Structure 1
Amino acid sequence: MPNEKIEETMKRIYLNENENEKDFIIERKEKQYKFPKLILIMRSELYRGMFLSVTNDTSNKVTDYSELSNKSFQLFEYWIYSNQIKDEIEITKEIINEFEIGIDYFQLNEAYPNLFDLLIIKFNNQN
């Protein structure tokens, strides 16, 4: 994706005076989480494409990620904000398997550091 278009979209979101349009809502079961669109653009090809494909993105679309376990969602949420794996959460084979699917779903493959690699390293260090 051309850098100019990414920069243009990020400036449009950042300079938008309507605070509600700066966030994207992710819904899990009956709870909603607000994520800044700018962070999602930096972390995920899926969201980058979603926000860049709409010329005037005035919605804060709602996506349902109820299929993720609570631990996996906590890892995802923490990683989106910090680009790190949360220390307090034990990485299990189940979480790794779930995240392998989730990483493809969220299109986080291009992220650096690679989330899946970080999970494997943490898992190996715990065992």
Structure 2
Amino acid sequence: MKRIYLNENEKNFIIERKEKQYKFPKLILIMRSELYRGMFLSVTEDKSNKVTDYSELSNKSFQIFEYWIYSNQIKDGIQITQEIIDELERGIDYFQLNQANPNLFDLLIKKFNNQN
């Protein structure tokens, strides 16, 4: 396994959403996404000014995504709809989050089925 060393200025990555910026620890993103793992561990790519735009996600979908990134769970009390599943499925595919375990999409489907 490759060791990852981040200096103080490289610990966070900015995810932008509708003119608001969120700082996510790079190590968490590396653990959750093949896309981020490849981006942060690439020795040839300039990562200093990278920003990921999640503006296409609704507020509720982004809250689900943000909570899952940190906890690997879906927050209790969140009502999952088919629209949220569809919206997050596109994001999961784009950001290559489907390799993470537990898989966000599987958790969404399970919670959706338990609600109905």
Q: What is the TM-score of this pair, normalised by structure 2?
A: 0.92
Q: Give the corresponding residue for 2:19.
A: 30
C-alpha distance in structure 1 between counterparts of 2:79 and 2:68, whole Å: 15
Q: Give the corresponding residue for 2:95.
A: 106
| Residues 40-49 or 57-66, more deviating | 57-66
Q: CA RMSD of the aligned region, Å?
A: 1.6
C-alpha distance in structure 1 between counterparts of 2:75 and 2:82, whole Å: 16
Q: Give the corresponding residue for 1:54.
A: 43
C-alpha distance in structure 2 between counterparts of 1:58 and 1:107, whole Å: 18
C-alpha distance in structure 1 between counterparts of 2:71 and 2:11, whole Å: 18
Structure 2 vs 1, CA of residues 75 and 83 (structure 1 numbering), >3 Å: closer, same or farther? same
How far apart are 1:53 and its partner, in Å? Answer: 1.1
C-alpha distance in structure 2 between counterparts of 1:37 and 1:69, whole Å: 23
SS of the equivalent of 1:98 reads helix
Identity within the alignment, %: 83
How many equivalent pairs are there? 116
SS of the equivalent of 1:34 reads strand
Q: Which amino acid is 1:125 matched to?
A: N
Q: Give the corresponding residue for 1:124.
A: 113
Unpaired segments of 5 or more residues in structure 1? none
Q: Give the corresponding residue for 2:77.
A: 88
Q: Which amino acid is 1:92 matched to?
A: T
Runs of 4 or more above 2 Å deviation? 54-58
| Residues 22-31 or 46-55, more deviating | 46-55
C-alpha distance in structure 2 between counterparts of 1:63 and 1:89, whole Å: 25
C-alpha distance in structure 2 between counterparts of 1:56 and 1:102, whole Å: 23
Q: Give the corresponding residue for 1:68.
A: 57
Q: What is the TM-score of this pair, normalised by structure 1?
A: 0.84
